[in-house]
Structure 1
Amino acid sequence: MSTTKRAGVAAFEDTLRDFWATRPVRPRFGGKVGGVSAAIGLRYGIDPILVRVAFVLAAIYGGAGVVLYLLGWLLFPKEGDPVPGGPKPKPEPTSSTLAVILVLLLIPSVFWLTSSPSIIGLAVGLGAFYLVHRTYGDRNVAPPAAAPTTTPVPDATPAGENTWVYPGAESTSKTEQQTPPAWDPLGAAPFAWDLPEPGEPEPPEPKRPPRRWITWVTLVLAAFAGGLTGSLGAPLYVSLAIALGVLGVGMLLGSFLRGGRGLIVAAVPLAAVAMLASALPASTFGGSVGDQQIRPAALSGLAPDYQLSAGTVTLDLRDMQIADGESASSATSVGVGDIVVRLPRDVDATVRCKAELGDVQCLNQTSSGGTADQTTTDLGPDGPGGGQLTLDLRVGVGSVEVTRD
């Protein structure tokens, strides 16, 4: 092994030892769940809110945030009970009962990390924590206790000799009388005449103004990155994930530069929308945005496919005539919104209605909640005959309603 590699390994080991010796302490007050985020924020001078957001984002994408939080809860000691008038209490290790519970929670959480994003998220989280300690490990560390100093005892006053001197009187002793300090002009405390003059109080450290430019620059970069990814043909959830990643980098930098807290307002709803978009089929987000009113008068006016990213599609087929023996089919998909269909009176219809999240009223069948899916065949009031119509109606978030007059 070369000298450079040995030095690198030694530095890595030193950083780990220093981290363990000065690891964050979970405070008794200020924590939301286990106090892990508050402990990290107090130890390294980072806003605890940003640490909590980082844990939440890591938990959403792969579940690595859950494992990291449980590890911190298990390994970080807790602040001890304060003693009135006594020294600062020593940190207390995690109790045995709580440690057993955390280990039982960690076992299924670790087995949950089977996908590539979760493993990458765990590695990135540990690496980021290592770099934070390597760079800011000297913050908020108690200095080593100094050796106690002994105050020299003054020479004892010779027995029978009185050294007390009233203010204004001449001293009769061999010791020269000292001038009282300015803070005691009347000489009421002769024993303190040899104390130095009190110094001027140090001016308070000026507060640095918040760096609001971090928020605006990060928002612009996130919008540009998400829009560029979408223009290149990436799915919606990928574009949102790219934008969310840019916001995460901005919050991480802002935690060290004392800025960027406004990014939390944008990151939380964006993470929710990205999570929802990743759970929905990409095909539901094709097309434009708005409302569409479609009322074909003949079979030739019915398009094989209608797509809308957000809005309402109203498909009114009551004027359309289908002769016996003829058949027609059409599909409609809406990302976020509603699909409303009005069927002709005497046409035999086979309709599939599906909503990833929402309500479905498919002729005489209804359902709601997550993945509402209904398929029904209705021959109309006249029974079989009158042509055959097949419809496939899908909505990501919203409702599907099919009725017959």
Structure 2
Amino acid sequence: MCKPRWRLILVTVSGTQRQQDHPLAGAEDTLKDFWTNRPRRPRRGRKIAGVAAAIANRYQIDPVLVRVLLVVSAIFGGAGLMIYIAGWLFFPDERDQEAPLPALVGRGRSSTGWFFTLFLCAVLFGASIWTFNGEGGAGIVGLALLLTGLFLLHRGRGSLAPRTPPPPPLVTQPTMPLGTDMNAQTSQQPVPPQPDERTGPPAWDPLGAAPFAWDLPDPAPAQPEPQPPAPRRRRSAIGGITLGAALAVGGACALVAPHVSWLTPGHIIGIVLAIVGLGMVGGSLMGGGRGLIGLAVPLALAGFVFTTATSGPVPYDSGQDWGTITSRPTSVAMVAPNYSVGGGTVELDLTALPNTGEVHTSLYAGLGNVSVLVPANADVDVTCDAGLGSVDCLGVEQNKTDAHVNTVDNGTDGAGGLKIYLDARVNSGTVEVRRG
């Protein structure tokens, strides 16, 4: 039996044909070609370092799309920030020979100094920690999607000529050998002919018949013919098709949502945003769909709000999705075991309670504020948590990510009397517990 051999397949990478005898050879050639023909960061059109503009110029797509993808992926998981800093380090400037990081190890010249290059390396290390240690693996998923998209983009459009030309080669002046007499060199140069200074006919030609005796003006240059106006670019229908599909799918999900528990407002916004994102990608390749950015930005913000309001640890069932809860019980029995909203405000006033008894209650807001007012003489054991925001629990303050305070305060009269056990939490917002 003869062993099967890999067929020789012609693979086109950046306009060149190569042979491969292994299924992974095409991917290897694409990666090598990407490194050889990396995007160059332009001077014009950049916002920070020109990484997004470099990718757009290299593959002839809309730079706004690249910026939106990097910003969104930077907010959700940090992958966009990691890719941007890496591009800053490995994509050369259009006027430099090499990128900052390869130039740091002596592989070329870069206008970026060594100190700033080391600073960018430190930022890249911090961004990688944020990306790989994020909750739910959003950073890893975003990084994988961005790298896969960049690989496919180079494989499909790597043969396109970049809009940013490579830097011109260095031109060196010719040098003369030592001991050369400069005066001798100069004396050997031929003397250019002097122009004829005569403006009138010579004495031997009073009628001016000699052709060189006439001093006629130069003919006026011919006027260039007016160029026809450039034809108007045909407007792509990708924007309208995407908008119609997003409205249709979003409306259908809203109608089905009461019967399907999974279709929360956050999930519906995510589905619509995915359709808009696909339309933006298709529009960047077909020359249209730029107006979809005005729809994608508010949808992304709304998705962030709904996701924040419904994510995070919830130690009890949420009482309502959105709104304000205000309560001022006058007895221990009137205090509910929990007060919670997905987004809004929870206000609890316990100053009307009697001086004896024991209270256990919890307060939660996904996106919003929690405020508790306790009696001046009550013994309070309180735990305050804020995933993103600030806490102020009986004078103990924290303002940072994952703020946590646990304190016990027996009031002005010392231990004894009414005992209150509180657990106040928010995903994004503020927590305040103070005495009335």
Task: Please report the TM-score for the alignment, with normalisation by the length of structure 2.
Answer: 0.61
Which sits farther off after the overlay, 388-397 or 55-64? 55-64
- Cα 1:316–1:126 change in 2 (3 A) is closer
The residue aligned with 1:108 is 125
The residue aligned with 2:46 is 31
Out of 275, 281, 284, the position equivalent to 1:255 is 284
Unaligned 5+ segments in structure 1 are: 81-90, 143-187, 193-197
> Structure 1 residue 129 and structure 2 residue 188: aligned?
no
Name the SS of the counterpart of 2:293 in structure 1.
Answer: coil
Out of 99, 105, 123, the position equivalent to 1:94 is 99
The residue aligned with 1:78 is 93
Out of 397, 402, 409, the position equivalent to 1:377 is 409
The residue aligned with 2:340 is 307
> Structure 1 residue 204 and structure 2 residue 237: aligned?
no
* Aligned-partner residue type, residue 354 of structure 2: Q
Distance 1:302 1:335 in 2: 21
Name the SS of the counterpart of 1:3 in structure 2.
Answer: coil
Shift of 1:18: 5.2
> Structure 1 residue 55 and structure 2 residue 70: aligned?
yes
CA contact (8 A) 2:328 2:350 kept: yes
Q: Can you list the C-alpha shifts for 1:32-54, whole angstroms capped at 9, x where unaligned? A: 23322112212222111211222
- Cα 1:42–1:293 change in 2 (3 A) is same
Which sits farther off after the overlay, 346-355 or 266-275? 266-275
Distance 1:106 1:351 in 2: 37
The residue aligned with 1:213 is 240
Shift of 1:65: 3.1
Distance 1:201 1:362 in 2: 75
Distance 2:268 2:317 in 1: 13
Aligned residues: 339
Q: Can you list the C-alpha shifts for 1:346-397, whole angstroms capped at 9, x where unaligned? A: 644433344444454444x24141215252323454x554443322222333
CA contact (8 A) 2:373 2:434 kept: yes
Out of 330, 335, 348, the position equivalent to 2:361 is 330
Shift of 1:31: 1.6
The residue aligned with 2:193 is none
How do 1:284-295 and structure 2 match up within 5 A?
A: 286-288=318-320, 289-295=322-328
Shift of 1:233: 5.2
CA contact (8 A) 2:345 2:368 kept: yes
> Structure 1 residue 296 and structure 2 residue 296: aligned?
no
Q: Can you list the C-alpha shifts for 1:187-246, whole angstroms capped at 9, x where unaligned? A: x98xx9xxxxx9995652322226432563575457977996996459998887666655
Unaligned 5+ segments in structure 2 are: 10-19, 105-111, 164-217
* Aligned-partner residue type, residue 282 of structure 2: L
Distance 1:267 1:391 in 2: 36
- Cα 1:329–1:94 change in 2 (3 A) is closer
CA contact (8 A) 1:284 1:334 kept: no
How do 1:6-25 and structure 2 match up within 5 A?
A: 6=20, 9=24, 11-12=26-27, 15-16=30-31, 19-20=34-35, 22-25=37-40
* Aligned-partner residue type, residue 255 of structure 1: S
The residue aligned with 1:281 is 313
- Cα 1:24–1:393 change in 2 (3 A) is closer
- Cα 1:200–1:20 change in 2 (3 A) is farther
Distance 1:99 1:222 in 2: 50
Out of 317, 340, 343, the position equivalent to 2:371 is 340
Which sits farther off after the overlay, 118-127 or 94-103? 94-103
Distance 1:17 1:357 in 2: 42
CA contact (8 A) 1:348 1:380 kept: no
- Cα 1:99–1:248 change in 2 (3 A) is farther
- Cα 1:135–1:33 change in 2 (3 A) is same
Name the SS of the counterpart of 1:321 in structure 2.
Answer: coil
Shift of 1:319: 3.6
Distance 1:106 1:379 in 2: 46
Shift of 1:120: 4.1
Q: Can you list the C-alpha shifts for 1:79-113, whole angstroms capped at 9, x where unaligned? A: 24xxxxxxxxxx74336244962784587369636
Q: Can you list the C-alpha shifts for 1:311-370, whole angstroms capped at 9, x where unaligned? A: 2223233443364xx42311111223333334356644433344444454444x241412
Which sits farther off after the overlay, 352-361 or 330-339? 352-361
- Cα 1:4–1:223 change in 2 (3 A) is farther
CA contact (8 A) 1:348 1:387 kept: yes
Distance 1:51 1:4 in 2: 36
Distance 1:105 1:262 in 2: 34
Distance 1:11 1:399 in 2: 53
Task: Give me the CA root mean square deviation.
Answer: 4.5
Name the SS of the counterpart of 1:333 in structure 2.
Answer: strand
- Cα 1:140–1:312 change in 2 (3 A) is same
Which sits farther off after the overlay, 304-313 or 103-112? 103-112
Distance 2:344 2:126 in 1: 39
- Cα 1:230–1:249 change in 2 (3 A) is farther
Distance 1:384 1:13 in 2: 72
CA contact (8 A) 1:215 1:262 kept: no
Q: Can you list the C-alpha shifts for 1:149-180, whole angstroms capped at 9, x where unaligned? A: xxxxxxxxxxxxxxxxxxxxxxxxxxxxxxxx
Out of 293, 312, 316, the position equivalent to 2:349 is 316
